[in-house]
Amino acid sequence: MLLELLVLLVPAALGEDVTQRQLKPVKGVPHSRLHLYQPSTTDTFRCLDGSQTILYSQLNDDYCDCKDGSDEPGTSACGNAFFYCSNVGHKGNFIPTNRVNDKLCDCCDGSDEYDSGVDCPNICDELGRAARIEREKIANVARKGFQKRQELAKEGQALRDAKLKDVEPLRQERANIEPERARLETEKKAVEEVEKKLQDEHRNQWEAVRIEKKKLRAQDWFDELDLDKSGKIDREELRQNLFLDNDHDGFVSEDEVKSYLTIDEADFEHFQSSMYDRLKEARHQHREEMKYKEEQEKEKAKALENAPDDDDLLADEDRHEEEEDPEDVRAQEDDKMPDYPPEVNEASEKAREARRLFDEVNEKVQDLDAKIREAEDFANSDYGEDYAWAALKDKCFDRNVQQYTYQFCPFGQNTQKDVGAYGGTSLGNFKNWSGGETNKYSKMHFGDGQQCWNGPKRSTDISIECGEENELVEVTEPAKCEYLFTFRTPLACTDPDKEVVHDEF
């Protein structure tokens, strides 16, 4: 095997006159680069990175000498070199040299398997023909698509221009209103301050009265509870109050009163500060419970009789509402602040009017701000170099896959829903163009969709291809909750007649 290779290369290296103008062919090197691989006058080869000079016979001798692999373009000896398949009839291309003589046919002309014992037929003509047909088909699509894109670009540009044009008068109008808005705001603040001051005064006065009244009520109850009139309440006295029977055993135990009376006995001061509110709450609770029980029993009794009479039930409820605890009624009255006097109401009326006037103008300003922001956003958004994508803003594209409908909304939110269902699951909101530096507009990323169970928030990547129509052509889920849409659109079509054909390395 090796010897064959040497035989093949040796005459090329030694047998010919190096001064001859015709370039020596070198395996794996395209014609356009052959000049780099010609022997020096001393019959040597300098590695292309300049790192070393070797005998010309060591070029393509199936041993890697150069660090950059440049001495072995035609064998698999270097891990970092490339082999050129000329593929006459089709398209020439480079393959990594680790595919040379590996028993797999990689070049359509079979030139990569010259020494592996595998016979690779030359299928370049066939492939070339098919490829030309395919290329033409693609070019046709691109041509049509590109035309549409230009129209869409105009549309997008027009939208943008309109937005930008609209925004100046809006800004002007806002500027005109602003002094009025500011004036009204100052006025509003001034009268509101007066209003608040008067209200506060009234409230404070009443608060003092309320506290006094509450104290009196507490004193009354304290006296009532202080059975032996000793000026102090002890646990024994508390235990006489059945509403403290938490566990409903018909008897108030030491434990049941302990949480209300944590010290041995309470004077009025302690009663007022630490016990009154809680006892009141307990008594209220107790009464509610009693009422509920009573009702239940009545209903039971009713049920035992014949079908209940609606009127009776209503009457029952009415009765209950009337049956308010007099103590509670008194407390409620005491707690209710008396109406504001007329001078406060007058101030409030003024404030209300000032607010109304301000709000009216302010709303206008906010509305203008929103419009300006939208226009600015539009102008600042990235709709592609020619603004063509602006035409797809607010548009959506659907695709049904088995039981689901997937929706792609270019600058909005993607969703998945059951076919025919309303609403759906968010697969993410538009985040950015993600095609990288070289091909930014070939991909979009959507993120922050609905959280997955035991997984990430849903997201979608959009792969964008040239097509005659806007169409969502494929939906897959490569990883759980990470979707991949393929979207075909004229917006991704470039002018096929302007494209440069890159053929060589």
Partner 1 sequence: MTAGSSWIVPLILLAAPLAVEMVKREEFKTCDQSAFCKQHRAISEPTGYELLADSIAHSGAEWSANLQNSQNTLKLKVIGLADSTVRVQIDEPETAIRKRYVPNPAFVALPEELAFESVENGAQEAKIVGGNKKVKVVVSYKPFIVNIFNKLDELVAQVNRDGKLKVEEFRTKEEGKEYPDGFWEERFKGFTDHKQHGSSSVGVDISFVNFKTAYGLPEHADAFALRNTVGNTDPYRLYNLDVFEYELNNPMALYVSIPYILAHRAGRSVGALWFNAAETWVDTQSSVTSKGLFGKMFDKVVGAGDNVPHFDAHFMSESGLVDIFFFVGPTVKDVQRQNAKLTGTTPLPPLFSIGYHQCRWNYNDEQDVAAVNKGFDDHDMPMDVIWLDIEHTDGKKYFTWDKHKFPTPNDMVDKVAAKGRKMVTIVDPHIKKDDGYYVYKDAKDKGLFVKRTDGSDFEGHCWPGASEYLDFWHPDTRSYWKDQFSFDRYTGSSSNLHIWNDMNEPSVFSGPEITMDKESIHYGGIEHREVHNMYGMMYTSATFDGLMARTGGKERPFILSRAGFIGTQRTAAIWTGDNTADWGHLEIAAPMTLSLSIAGVPFVGADVGGFFGNPDEQLLSRWYQTGAFQPFFRAHAHIDTRRREPWLFSEQTQGIIREALRTRYALLPYWYTLFQQHSETGVPPMRPLFYEFENDDSLLEEQKQWMVGNGILARPVVEKDTFNVQVKLPRGEHKNERWYEWVSGAEVRGESIYVDAPITFTPVYQRGGTIIPTWQRIRRSATLMRDDPFTLFVALDSEGNSKGEIYMDDGQTHDYQSGQFVKASFTYKKETSTTAVLEGEHVEGKFAAKNWVERVVVRGVESSPKKVEITRVSDPVQPLEFSYDRDSKVLVIRKPEALITSSFKIHIEF
Binding site for partner 1 (CB under 8 A): 1-2, 61-65, 76-77, 79, 96, 98-99, 102-104, 452-456, 476-480, 482
Give the nearest distance from C-beta 479 to partner 1 in angstroms: 4
Residues whose CB is less than 8 angstroms from the CB of residue 117 and which lie 6 or more positions away in sequence, other chains included: 103
Q: Report strand pairing: 459-466 vs 44-46.
A: unpaired
Taking the least distance from each CB to partner 1, the nearer of 23 and 479 is 479
Taking the least distance from each CB to partner 1, the nearer of 245 and 474 is 474
Q: Are 120 and 113 within 8 A, CB to CB?
A: yes
Taking the least distance from each CB to partner 1, the nearer of 381 and 405 is 405
Taking the least distance from each CB to partner 1, the nearer of 426 and 486 is 486
Residue recorded with tokens 């090329």: 12
Q: Which two tokens stand for residue 302?
A: 């009713």
Return the closest-CA partner of residue 171 out of 423, 436, 469, 379.
379
Give the nearest distance from C-beta 9 to partner 1 in angstroms: 14
Bridge partners (DSSP) listed for residue 417: 405
Taking the least distance from each CB to partner 1, the nearer of 205 and 476 is 476
Taking the least distance from each CB to partner 1, the nearer of 380 and 454 is 454
Give the nearest distance from C-beta 4 to partner 1 in angstroms: 13
- From the DSSP assignment, how many helices (H) and strands (E) are in the chain? 9, 14
- Indicate the helix (H) or strand (E) that contains 397: strand 397-401
Give the nearest distance from C-beta 217 to partner 1 in angstroms: 47
Distance (Å, whole) CA 222 – CA 291? 25
One-letter amino acid for residue 409 of the chain = C
Q: Which two tokens stand for residue 259?
A: 């949480």
Taking the least distance from each CB to partner 1, the nearer of 204 and 402 is 402
CA angle (422, 425, 426) in 5-degree steps: 120
Distance (Å, whole) CA 353 – CA 441? 54
Q: Are 195 and 351 within 8 A, CB to CB?
A: yes
Residues whose CB is less than 8 angstroms from the CB of residue 34 and which lie 6 or more positions away in sequence, other chains included: 23, 24, 25, 26
If one counts every other C-beta atom within 10 angstroms of the C-beta of residue 452, the result is 14
Give the nearest distance from C-beta 486 to partner 1 in angstroms: 11
Give the nearest distance from C-beta 104 to partner 1 in angstroms: 7
Q: Are 107 and 96 within 8 A, CB to CB?
A: no
Give the nearest distance from C-beta 301 to partner 1 in angstroms: 41
Exposure b/e, 22-49, CB count within 10 A at least 16 = b: eebebbbbbeeeeeebebeeeeebebbe
Taking the least distance from each CB to partner 1, the nearer of 374 and 477 is 477
Taking the least distance from each CB to partner 1, the nearer of 11 and 478 is 478
Q: Are 491 and 387 within 8 A, CB to CB?
A: no
Taking the least distance from each CB to partner 1, the nearer of 103 and 165 is 103
One-letter amino acid for residue 167 of the chain = V
Give the nearest distance from C-beta 271 to partner 1 in angstroms: 45
Taking the least distance from each CB to partner 1, the nearer of 219 and 450 is 450
Distance (Å, whole) CA 59 – CA 64? 9
| 3-class secondary-structure state, position 486 | strand
Give the nearest distance from C-beta 482 to partner 1 in angstroms: 7
Name the DSSP letter for residue 82.
E
Taking the least distance from each CB to partner 1, the nearer of 361 and 452 is 452
Q: Count how many Cα atoms sit within 13 Å of the Cα of residue 388 in the half-sphere of its side chain.
A: 19
Give the nearest distance from C-beta 455 to partner 1 in angstroms: 5
Name the DSSP letter for residue 145.
H
Return the closest-CA partner of residue 435 out of 456, 413, 460, 463.
463
Give the nearest distance from C-beta 353 to partner 1 in angstroms: 55
Taking the least distance from each CB to partner 1, the nearer of 77 and 409 is 77
Give the nearest distance from C-beta 5 to partner 1 in angstroms: 11
Give the nearest distance from C-beta 72 to partner 1 in angstroms: 10
Query: Left, alpha or beta for 500 (phi > 0: left; psi -120 to 50: alpha)?
Result: beta
